[in-house]
Amino acid sequence: MKALTLILASSALCISACNRSDSSDETANQDVTMADNGMGNGLDAGAMAGPAALPTTAPQFVNAAAASDRFEIESSKLAQNSGSSAAVKSFAQQMVAAHTASTAKLKSTVAGMSPPLTPSDALNAEQQSLIASLQGKTGADLDAAYAQAQVTAHQRTLDMLNAYANGGDNPQLVNLAKGMIPTVTAHLNSAKGLK
């Protein structure tokens, strides 16, 4: 269980690079580097389990939110298909719907920005590992692992949203983060009640 928590903690805040371009200047297209998004710091998953750097730039926030949504959708589909608890399956169904809507809102927000950002929802190695560990479970074992993963993931997401809402560099994304806080708080409280 500790390894699951460590993997989820590190994966929730690791983000992948995204491209951004300025439509008025083709040469302004830049990649967000691994150093910019916190992945190039040389830390392994165990070292990242402590307080991880929260995203402070628009590209970091966009990628962290997109990856979080994708993780939630994929892990929740596993719970719907292989879990045994009616409460877990119901919660998982709600998470698929909520995080699909969250992804759509994120994409529409960044498309209207100048320059627009393209969210990268690529799961990093830790997220892929956690999904793989959930794939190996069924029934009550999956229910328990999924419930724990949801508490951890939603707490990390809430921390990320609060941090960006209070110090983010893009006003549109700051408003998006602020608007998501009540929903993520409700999801976290529901996840804590799963059995």
Give the model confidence (pLDDT) of 32-65 as tens digits.
322 233 332 222 233 233 334 688 899 999 999 9
Among 38-42, 99-103, 183-187, the least confident range: 38-42
Q: Indicate which CATH number applies to the domain containing 166.
A: 1.20.1260.10
- Kindly state whether residue 172 falls inside one of the protein's structural domains: yes
Range of the domain at 174: 58-116+123-195
Amino acid at 136: G
| Cβ-contact 166, 175 below 8 angstroms | no
- Kindly state whether residue 27 falls inside one of the protein's structural domains: no
Closest-CA residue to 20 (of 84, 86, 110, 91): 110
pTM: 0.73
- Kindly state whether residue 22 falls inside one of the protein's structural domains: no
- Kindly state whether residue 31 falls inside one of the protein's structural domains: no
Cβ neighbors of 61 (< 8 A, separation 6 or more) are 55, 160, 164, 168, 170, 173, 177
- Kindly state whether residue 92 falls inside one of the protein's structural domains: yes
Condensed to tens digits (0 to 9), the pLDDT of residues 113-156 reads 888 899 999 877 777 778 888 998 999 999 999 998 899 889 98
Number of domains in the chain: 1
Structural tokens at position 50: 């402590």
